[in-house]
Chain A
Amino acid sequence: MVGEDHLISELLRSGHEATPAEVGRILSRMATAPLDVRLVRVPGYLRGQPYGGRTLQRRDQSAFVHLVKRVRYDRQWAEDTTMADYLEDLRRAVRQPDAHLLIYARHGEHHAGVIADTDLAVPVGRRGELALPNLLVVNSWERRATRTGYQFFAMDKVGIPGDARWLK
């Protein structure tokens, strides 16, 4: 059996069809992964934005940047959504039985992504005024963390590479 850390690279390299067990392993790891908290660049238009008792700096924790962007900027999640709420919704998306699963490599790293229905993943009270019908969750496999989760409208516009492999 391929080791957990090499599962995605091996699936992409070999091109073999993923078994139900392999799909289950990927989804299981995604459903328990924490949000990435490494420091990242904060776009100029978000710097200085206060949220939840903190203020976004020039560089800030990735998870916090994504949360503030989703709530204050994109308005996809409701005001007062916490980091724990956001993570819970992303994990709920990953656990949806009908969710789609894809894998890809970019920048020398491997990623797994899930696309699910927003309605089934985000409770009504937590949806923002500009909530969109589909929810993408992307996990950075080597970093063992959820990189991002955002809602989108059209599948053909989602920012995953064209050579991503759809496993489910």
Chain B
Amino acid sequence: MAQVVRSTAAEIEFLLSTLLDEWQDVTELADQWPTLDTAEKEDFQLEWTLTEERFERMRGIASLDLTATQRARYCELLKLVAQNRPVLESLLRV
């Protein structure tokens, strides 16, 4: 099995950093969406699945113990996701 299962501080840091990066990028992506080539749109729609998989993993971890700093960043992530989810859904539907 290729999956490496771990929920260390390093993994939590990886998940929080990548998820914050990706969800922050949604705003700029939405602005540029009308000018993008069909292949670029296809790429995004195919690959966003990785972000959702990471988000699910993070939610699972967050139901357990997080440090105060990790909890604060996770709350920031949840806020960002709630804010950008509607525009993201519109991009995935196009």
Contact = CB atoms under 8 A, between A and B. Distances in A.
Interface of A: 36, 38, 40-41, 43-45, 62, 66, 69, 73-75, 106-109, 111, 118-119, 122, 127, 129-133, 136, 138, 140, 143, 147-148, 150-154, 157-160
Contacts of B64: none
Contacts of A131: 2-4
Contact of A40 (B21, B39, B46): B39
Contacts of A119: 1-2
A62 B42 CA distance: 12
Interface size class of B (residues with CB under 8 A): 20 to 34
A56 B52 CA distance: 24
Nearest to B52: A157
B25 to A, nearest CB: 5
Interface of B: prevailing SS: helix
Interface of B: 1-4, 14, 18, 21-22, 24-25, 28-29, 32, 36-43, 45-50, 52-53
B50 to A, nearest CB: 6
A152 B53 contact: yes
A138 to B, nearest CB: 6
